[in-house]
């Protein structure tokens, strides 16, 4: 004889929590890309922070990116994600507290500017304060490519595009290379159709 068992499901999100999805990227001319974004308010969240962070990660992964800011998907909050593979971190309301004097110039790309790679000079190391998707504060130091990615995404949150960090001639050369790649892509796509 089986005893009566009452099962209580205490998961408040069982039916309400939205499914994680890949978000559309806004076009490179979208005004949100040039806006300084407002802080994410954890006391009165405008959107579920876990859903936002997870969606940004899935979107970044689907485009083989290393980082993605909320405004690249049309959300006007100080949030970005950065990482690789299954190791992504969400950064809510990040602030630079220190950056190295040593700077490194490397080619950078951006998911908002398909195939545009230009050499940008940035600090080699950076230390930032931020909150995770639960609102818990953190402070961490990053170097190399991770620091570059974080600084690139932080620029997005301040409405600064990497295209503004180079001389006009450098940007022009990058745009010419980009246009060749886009033209070749278009030509190859028409052959397949």
DSSP assignments along 70-130, one per residue? GGGGT--BSEEEEEETTEEEEEEEEEEEEE-S-EEEEEEEETTEEEEEEEEEEESEEEEEE
Query: What pLDDT score was predicted for residue 16?
Result: 59
How many other β-carbons are positioned within 10 Å of the β-carbon of residue 174? Answer: 21
For the segment 19-27, the average pLDDT, to the nearest whole number, is 90
Catalytic residue among 28, 101, 107, 153: 153
Told to judge if 185 belongs to the known catalytic residues of this protein, a careful annotator would answer no
Helix, strand, coil shares of the chain, percent, nearest 5, are: 35, 30, 35
Chain-centroid distance, C-alpha 122? 17
Report yes or no: 92 and 56 within 8 Å, Cβ to Cβ. Answer: no
- Rounded to 5 degrees, what angle do the CA atoms 114, 49, 78 make? 55
Query: What pLDDT score was predicted for residue 11?
Result: 46
Distance, CA of 158 to CA of 35 (rounded, Å): 6
Query: What pLDDT score was predicted for residue 6?
Result: 47
* Percent with pLDDT over 70 in the chain: 90
Query: What pLDDT score was predicted for residue 51?
Result: 94
Model's pTM, two decimal places?
0.86
- For residue 9, what pLDDT band results from cuts at 50, 70 and 90? very low
For the segment 171-179, the average pLDDT, to the nearest whole number, is 96
Query: How confident is the model over 93-135, as pLDDT tens digits?
Result: 999 999 999 999 999 999 999 999 999 999 999 999 999 999 9
- For residue 4, what pLDDT band results from cuts at 50, 70 and 90? low
Under DSSP, the state recorded for 41 is -
- pLDDT for 24 beyond 70: yes
Q: Is pLDDT larger for residue 4 or for residue 183?
A: 183
- pLDDT for 190 beyond 70: yes
Report yes or no: 106 and 120 within 8 Å, Cβ to Cβ. Answer: yes
């Amino acid at each position: 004889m089986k005893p009566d068992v009452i099962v209580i499901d205490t998961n408040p999100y069982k039916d309400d929590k939205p499914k994680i999805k890949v978000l559309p990227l806004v076009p490179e001319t979208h005004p949100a890309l040039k806006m300084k974004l407002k802080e994410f308010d954890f006391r009165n969240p405008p959107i579920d922070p876990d859903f936002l962070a997870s969606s940004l990660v899935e979107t970044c992964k689907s485009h083989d990116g290393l980082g993605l800011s909320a405004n690249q998907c049309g959300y006007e909050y100080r949030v970005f994600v950065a990482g690789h593979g299954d190791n992504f971190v969400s950064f809510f309301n990040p602030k630079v507290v220190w950056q190295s004097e040593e700077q490194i110039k490397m080619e950078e790309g951006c998911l908002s500017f398909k195939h545009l790679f230009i050499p940008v000079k940035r600090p080699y190391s950076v230390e930032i304060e931020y909150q995770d998707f639960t609102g818990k504060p953190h402070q961490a130091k990053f170097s190399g490519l991770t620091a570059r990615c974080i600084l690139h995404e932080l620029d997005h949150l301040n409405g600064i595009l990497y295209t503004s960090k180079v001389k006009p001639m450098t940007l022009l050369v990058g745009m010419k290379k980009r246009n060749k790649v886009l033209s070749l892509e278009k030509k190859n796509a028409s052959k397949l159709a």
